[in-house]
Amino acid sequence: MKSLLYFAKQFLARRPGLRRKIVNAIYRIPALDMRLRAILDQRDDLAWRRVDAHDLPEDARVVYEKLRNRMRRL
């Protein structure tokens, strides 16, 4: 849901007129407004903390590959 909303935001960012109309419409439905905002504001602390072997900063990737290559050779 969050990623769907994220893409919707990206889409609307390029269409400020449409975005304004949608935002104004949503604002008139407080429950929906709060719900959407809560979803967009959701923080997933662990998501970024989780280390992804395929998405490492360059320095870490070098060390990771050194380790992996050495262990493969052994």
Partner 1 sequence: MKLLLDLQGALSQSRHRGIGRYTLALTRAFLDRAASEHDVRLLLNARFGEQADALIATLGGHARPTHRLVVEVPEGIRAQPGGNAWLRRAAARVMRHAIESSGADIVWYSSILEGYNDDAVLPETPPVGIASVATLYDLIPLHDQDAYLGHPRIRRWYGQNVDMLKQCDMLFAISEWVRQDAIQRLQLPPERIVNIGAAVDDWFAPPASDPAASAALRSRYGITRPYVLYNGGFDARKNVPSLVRAFAALPEALRAAHQLVIVGRAGQEEAAQLHEAVRKARLPADSVIYTGFAPDEELVRLYAECALFVFPSLLEGFGLPPLEAMACGAPVIASHAASLPEVIDKREALFNPQRVDDVTACMSRVLSNAHYADELRKYGRERAAMFSWKSVANRALDALQELAHRQSRRATVAIHDKPLAQEEQLIADISLMDGKPSDEDLANIACMVISTRKPEAVQRWLVDVSSIAEKDIRTGVQRVVRNILTHWLTSPPEGVQIVPIRFARGRYRHARRYASDLLGRTESHLPEDAIEAVNGDVFFGLDWAVDTIDAADPQLREWHRRGASLQFLIHDLLPVTLPDTFHPYARDRFDNWLRRISSIADRLVCVSRATRDELHGWLASSRLTYQFERLPVLAHSPPGVDASSTATPSQIRVELAAAMQQRPTVLMVGTLEPRKGHDQALQACELLWRSGVDINLVIVGHFGWLMESFAANLAKHEERKRRLFWIEDADDGELHAIYQASNVLLAASWGEGYGLPLIEAARHGLPVLARDLPVFREVMQQRATYFKASSPTELADVLREWLASPHRPDDQATATNWPSWKQSAERLANVIAADS
Residues in contact with partner 1 by CB under 8 A are: 9-10, 13-14, 16, 20, 23-24, 27, 33, 37, 40-45, 47-49, 51-53, 55-61, 63-64, 66-68, 70-71, 74
**Cβ–Cβ under 8 Å, residues 55 and 49:** no
Question: Min. distance of Cβ 37 from partner 1 in angstroms?
Answer: 8
**Cβ–Cβ under 8 Å, residues 47 and 7:** no
The Cα 27–Cα 43 span in angstroms is: 22
Question: Min. distance of Cβ 41 from partner 1 in angstroms?
Answer: 5
**Cβ–Cβ under 8 Å, residues 12 and 22:** yes
Question: Min. distance of Cβ 26 from partner 1 in angstroms?
Answer: 8
